[in-house]
Structure 1
Amino acid sequence: MPRSIFSFSSISKQFVVTSFLLLEEEGKLSLDDDVRKYIPELPDYGHTIGLRHLIHHICGLKDKLTLWEISGRT
């Protein structure tokens, strides 16, 4: 039985970023691509949010746990 609980997203980020970099190396995407190219249902916030912004946590989007806390959920 595990004694530690890790957030899935905390563990998976490094694999997602590595995948982005491999795909960029193959010319299949650019880190400067608008994230809405891949997630079209994401609203337009008036500026481009690139994959690079997501990688470096500078996109301005709140994570779901923060949004839950702001809305009063635990």
Structure 2
Amino acid sequence: MSPLRWDVLTVGLVLALPVLALYLRGDFTVDEVAARLPWCLLAGWGAVALLRWAATPRTRPADRRARATSALPDEDPAPVP
């Protein structure tokens, strides 16, 4: 998964809002903000990766077996007169 996807960038921007607010308030310098913004992007990437992993449906082994057997032809066809 690319760290420059739109959803990762959006979550990274949301996580960067407090850092930018602290800069605007005067608590952080430009150097401190520049050092913290990549961490916001990394945290956004991790959050999106975790949500994608949690949202992916899992297939059970019984479902795989049922699909494999349904694809096989009947072994005992009806007799032809």
| TM-score under structure 2 length normalisation | 0.28
Higher helix share: 2
- Ranked by relative contact order (alpha carbons within 8 Å, sequence separation 6 or more), the top structure is 2
- The structure having more radius of gyration, on CA atoms, is 2
| TM-score under structure 1 length normalisation | 0.30
